[in-house]
Structure 1
Amino acid sequence: MAVSYYQNQAEHLMKEYMLADPFVPYTSVVGGILACKLVYDLTQLISALNFKSYPSLSYMKRVEWNNRAISTVHAIFITVLSLYLVFWSDLFADYQLNDLITYRSSSLSTSILGVSVGYFLTDLGMIFWFYPLLGGMEYVIHHLLSIASLAYAMLTSEGQVYTFMVLISETTTPGINLRWYLDTVGMKKSKAYLINGVVVFLSWLVARILLFVYIFYHVYLHLDQVNQLQVFGKLLVFVVPLALTVMNLLWFGKIIKGLKKTIAKRQ
């Protein structure tokens, strides 16, 4: 009886929270920041106990090790939920004709964006703190663009569908991070490293090149609805994906060069 009572109370509080829209963005951002801190600390603890090479790494390498664990967890979280919202839920389905697709949102979608804002704020803070050891100016620009678009979509509910489409591109992050881990523990010449390179190439091609082609096509099909957004919303829909596409193409070129070099060394 006691367990059932507390379960009902928890469900009641959750429903009240999800209905309290004004509080959802801010509490979810704080929750995202706290989750990043939790993942960082757990990674530090688990790695020290289970990876022999971790304690011997330099302080900066351990920081990056833990930082990449945060980005991996966030990438898995945001990719799964973005795919669900864009392709499997009814929220952004074209057959829902009750309102414009560019203005649709829910407490769930808003809270997910808040968690992601919390992650990018945390990661940007770490980049600034250790600059340029965790990333150069391209990472700063990427994160600032991400925070601006995420926060705007979260607070105004405008263009959330395109925000989640862009967030699907985070599916490449775990592969990139795994590549760094393999290199750090001395497995650069292993078969796993080569397979990882091929997977990163294919995932980048799909999630950061072809996906953005689909985004631009989707914008074209719904241009009449996009044009009804506020000026800043239009800028985010047109400019941010375009800027990220340029950066993705530049990084894709580096991935191709790295993969060619890896294959050449094994021949």
Structure 2
Amino acid sequence: MKAVPKQITMAMKSYKDQAHMLVKNYLLADPFVPYTSILSGMLASKLVYDLTDLISSFYIKTYPSITKIQRVDWNNRLWHSTTHAIFISTLSLYFVFLSDLFSDPKLLGLIVFRSSTLSTFGLGVSFSWYFFSDLAITLWQYPSLGGIEYVIHHILSGIAVAYSMFTGEAHLYTYMVLISEVTTPEIHLRWYLDTAGMKNSIAYLINGIVIFIGWLIERVLLFGYMFYHVYLHYDQVMKMHTFGYILVFGVRSALGILNMMRFGKIIRGLLKTLAKRGSPTKEVDGEH
């Protein structure tokens, strides 16, 4: 095997160094991170959507026969929600429970003003991948893909995420809220089971129980802990910009109320599913 000429090796090293400098000094430089992350989120969502459509066309027998709006809903759930939920919930769990960014007392600065390149990048990707793009497609197909509750949730969440990303304020509380995306894959699995006609299956029942437990932990108890944390650090929260202060209390309170309303529906749906399995007939179409 012939050795690579020295000139080619040096040229490759030069291109590599230039690419590294481009990423370090521009794409991941602090002033450009929000915009780089937003662009990355858009590209990721487009890639996942196209792959979902392609794979479903080849491997899901019923996919070509369903209506156009059902295909959009199918791809949209996998495109925006499920893949985004896996990405952002993993990142959120890391920052809230594993990273020293918000827990190390030796770090300088108030907790409400602590941020990093990664935390900013993650919020930007989440904003464009899910909240902005999903809201746009929901409004385009309104109300087929979601009602007014869904729209309000996305608008409030998108504003809070974007503000936190651009200002560097309240990253901890934003990621605490985004942990709740852990429940999203289970919610969409329920939709798939429903669409596949498996509402009377044991998988549907187990899915309902998992959603109940996950929602209770991630969207009820964790929200309560977040407000307790805000109470303990209220002196720091008071130092935030007025709009950021309003977002911490107003938007998160509104999301908490929406979560409680949805939790009530989940409880009623689970009780109906359990009642159906305990009755001799299972033909009634229950709420999900």
- Shared fold per TM-score greater than 0.5: yes
CA distance in structure 2 between the partners assigned to 1:194 and 1:9 by the alignment? 55
1:69 matched to 2:75? The reply is no
The two structures, once aligned, show a CA RMSD in angstroms of 1.7
Which string of whole-angstrom CA distances, capped at 9 and with x for unpartnered residues, describes residues 200-229 of structure 1? 000000000000011011101111111110
Describe how 1:14-53 pairs up with structure 2 within 5 A.
14-17=23-26, 19-53=28-62
Which string of whole-angstrom CA distances, capped at 9 and with x for unpartnered residues, describes residues 79-112 of structure 1? 0001111111111114234110000111111111
Which secondary structure does the structure 2 equivalent of 1:207 belong to? Answer: helix
Q: Which residue of 232, 241, 247 corresponds with 2:252?
A: 241
1:109 matched to 2:119? The reply is yes
Describe how 1:91-102 pairs up with structure 2 within 5 A.
91-102=101-112
Q: Which residue of 257, 262, 266 corresponds with 2:273?
A: 262
CA distance in structure 2 between the partners assigned to 1:26 and 1:32 by the alignment? 10
Which string of whole-angstrom CA distances, capped at 9 and with x for unpartnered residues, describes residues 134-170 of structure 1? 1111111111111111111111101111011100011
Which secondary structure does the structure 1 equivalent of 2:64 belong to? Answer: coil
Q: Label 1:8 to 1:188 Cα distance change in 2 as closer, same or farther (>3 A).
A: farther
CA distance in structure 1 between the partners assigned to 2:30 and 2:155 by the alignment? 25
Contact 1:18 1:108 in 2 (8 A): no
2:283 — aligned with what? Answer: none
CA displacement at 1:22 relative to structure 2? 1.3
Contact 2:101 2:107 in 1 (8 A): no
Q: Normalising by structure 1, what TM-score?
A: 0.95
Q: Normalising by structure 2, what TM-score?
A: 0.88
CA displacement at 1:14 relative to structure 2? 3.5
Which secondary structure does the structure 2 equivalent of 1:95 belong to? Answer: coil
Contact 2:28 2:36 in 1 (8 A): no
CA distance in structure 1 between the partners assigned to 2:34 and 2:263 by the alignment? 33
Q: Which residue of 209, 229, 237 corresponds with 2:240?
A: 229
Aligned length: 267
2:212 — aligned with what? Answer: 201
Contact 2:183 2:214 in 1 (8 A): yes
1:145 matched to 2:156? The reply is yes
Contact 1:94 1:101 in 2 (8 A): no
Which string of whole-angstrom CA distances, capped at 9 and with x for unpartnered residues, describes residues 220-259 of structure 1? 1111111110100101111111101100000001111111
Could you tell me which runs of 5 or more consecutive residues in structure 1 were left unpaired when the two chains were aligned: none
Could you tell me which runs of 5 or more consecutive residues in structure 2 were left unpaired when the two chains were aligned: 279-288
CA distance in structure 1 between the partners assigned to 2:273 and 2:29 by the alignment? 52
Which string of whole-angstrom CA distances, capped at 9 and with x for unpartnered residues, describes residues 7-28 of structure 1? 6665544333465111110121
Contact 2:238 2:245 in 1 (8 A): yes
2:285 — aligned with what? Answer: none
Identity %: 61
Which secondary structure does the structure 2 equivalent of 1:123 belong to? Answer: helix
CA distance in structure 1 between the partners assigned to 2:202 and 2:115 by the alignment? 44
Q: Label 1:155 to 1:46 Cα distance change in 2 as closer, same or farther (>3 A).
A: same
